[in-house]
Structure 1
């Protein structure tokens, strides 16, 4: 079953509601339990080293706590390996502390887990080798390399063929769709779209070939 992973960064009621519509199983990632408590949502599981969860949330969800004490992996990685799912939407990971967001992005790039992050303004994922998106002309399409990457595209105002992307060389922020978009990418690239494009991104990801990756830490 698709699931929603809830992290500790601020999450609006609207964003949480949207995520739960697509991922009805709910996993709180450590401090995300307090977000769910405030929203009146009962998680199926609370995972992490539990150093950020309040006493109130700990008591409320006592029968759902999965404590993992080791400090060699992040709480997000702990959740991925404890609660694998065919598809996950992560909320509460964009915003607040930048180092926490970067650690989540790094874990997604490393594992190629089929996880989509949703925030107030954006939704993002690590691109599979091929992705086809049904987008309206003018839709913002940003490509952010997490490692060396190159590829070909159709439906972008500025095609990417022949470009060598990398975190310290070239990025692809604020490109735009001219209509439906197809991306064929080698390497590790994050795709960032407006949050309103969540349904289109979910449809594209769930029908795309699953990329190879490694197990969560």
Structure 2
């Protein structure tokens, strides 16, 4: 591990960063880490970084030179993305990611793939419009009636739901078959799933509620 913390850790990516999202994660985080080119965002915001992790193919030389050499962790292998390199090396109760959406679609898809392949890392990604996270075994969220709730399977997964206009009970969700986007809440929701394969996408206004839920002891895959 490069970063170990008993409190949430902020992780900054190289995509455009929403100011409100960045302010939120910094209010909760104990430490701040940049994924490769995210160091440029951190520098522009005047943020002190604990670590920069990545293959360093997208960090400009002037940005790299602005940070002490001992916080720069160059991971040369090309079998993983910079986001995955970070998730592999951060041990924290929750990783709060910003700067991982709103730019290249292939990067966003790779990030979603990583969330599913590292289910023991509790992580939420916050953008201008959405917050996305891997559904834990069970969850409960107090959502207003009519709130958009999108469920996207990254593999075959079944589950049960309460408080969704279209329940998922009895369905097998798959990325090439039945999905669950554009559902909506009829009030507070409950969800249980059989495998760490389901991404939950909610409006960004529920970022705080999601963080509180994910920090609960039971909201994790072992």
TM-score interval w.r.t. the shorter chain?
Answer: over 0.9
| Residue 170 (str. 1) matches residue 178 (str. 2) | yes
What is the alpha-carbon distance in structure 1 between the residues aligned to residue 112 and residue 33 of structure 2?
18
**Equivalent position of 1:43 in the other structure:** 49
The alpha-carbon deviation at position 82 of structure 1 amounts to: 2.1
RMSD over equivalenced CA pairs, Å: 1.2
Matches within 5 A, 1:1-217: 1-63=7-69, 64-112=71-119, 113-187=121-195, 188-207=197-216, 208-212=218-222
The alpha-carbon deviation at position 102 of structure 1 amounts to: 1.1
**Under a length normalisation based on structure 1, what TM-score does the superposition of the two structures give?**
0.94
**Under a length normalisation based on structure 2, what TM-score does the superposition of the two structures give?**
0.92
Please say which of residues 10-19 and 130-139 is displaced more in the overlay. 10-19
**2:213/2:219 contact within 8 Å kept:** no
> Where do 5+ consecutive residues of structure 2 fail to align?
1-6
DSSP-derived class of the 1:147 partner: coil
What is the alpha-carbon distance in structure 1 between the residues aligned to residue 36 and residue 22 of structure 2?
16
**1:93/1:104 contact within 8 Å kept:** yes
**2:55/2:82 contact within 8 Å kept:** yes
Runs (4+) of structure 1 exceeding 3 A deviation are none
> Where do 5+ consecutive residues of structure 1 fail to align?
213-217
DSSP-derived class of the 2:220 partner: coil
The alpha-carbon deviation at position 164 of structure 1 amounts to: 1.5
The alpha-carbon deviation at position 12 of structure 1 amounts to: 2.6
What is the alpha-carbon distance in structure 1 between the residues aligned to residue 29 and residue 150 of structure 2?
25
**1:135/1:200 contact within 8 Å kept:** no
